[in-house]
Amino acid sequence: MPLPLLRPSPRHTIGALYGVIVAQARRPAFYLAYGVADTVSGRFELVVLHTVLLLHRLAGEPALQSLGQGLFDEFCRDMDHNLREMGVGDTKVPREMKRMAEAFFGRRKVYEAALDAGQQGSLAEVLRRNIYDQADTAPAARLALYVSASAGDLACQETDAIARGTLIFPDPEKIGNEAGQSQGSGRTALERAGADLRDTGGGS
């Protein structure tokens, strides 16, 4: 009789999942092709974004919801470590951690609301405000396509695989590039998303 497969411990699973998040957030395409600033702030924003994407997936699956708090705790440990690595003093770390936590929860609220609404223009606008803070709508429109694709991919990934620490994000270089050509209108999905964003007033 074959022995049942043993699941890794929750801590091991959370560490593995968070490791994938950080690796994905560091992919050069986000900084070279998507125009995210290659700065401490820009990298922070991408870690937050990918953490929110996974939390959104976990929240929709009862068997995975228990991992959510552990994932946020791992994010906090990582941010604390990074602050100290950058030389932030012990007395200032709590204040900076509070600021980061507030930023995290604020972004989670608006990102998840935009995802649930299914409005590419709204999603691109909240990404533009939080990650780019610039008038040019094209980078945010492309990132919105990536975020929607990621949410879709995560929704299709097996619960048991995620519970074992396996997580796959799409290749950002393939989003909003040759993929997404529309039929009939000849416009790409990237162009349509940018038009949606301008319609919301985000380009003004």
Pair of tokens at residue 185: 């209108």
pLDDT tens digits, one per residue of 161-172: 999 999 999 999
117-120: long-range contacts, CB 8 A cutoff, minimum separation 24? 119/196, 120/144, 120/145, 120/148, 120/192, 120/193, 120/196, 120/197
Amino acid residing at 133: D
A 10 A CB-CB count for 151 gives 20
The amino acid at 40 = V
The answer on pLDDT for 16 being more than 60 is yes
Q: Which tops the pLDDT comparison, 130 or 180?
A: 130
- Are 25 and 50 spatial neighbours (Cβ–Cβ below 8 Å)? yes
Whose CA is closest to 57, among 162, 131, 144? 162
For residues 111-127, average pLDDT: 95
The model carries a pTM of: 0.84
Give the lowest-confidence range in 44-48, 68-72, 181-185. 181-185
Q: What is the pLDDT of residues 92-103, one digit of tens each?
A: 999 999 999 999
Domains of the chain, by residue range, sit at: 10-199
Percent of the chain surpassing pLDDT 90: 74
Query: What letter does residue 134 receive in the DSSP assignment?
Result: S
d(CA 75, CA 67): 12
DSSP state for residue 183 in the 8-state scheme: S
pLDDT tens track for 63-72: 888 899 999 9
Q: Is the pLDDT of residue 111 over 80?
A: yes
Contact 26, 50 (CB under 8 A): no
Residue 157 neighbours by CB distance under 10 Å: 14
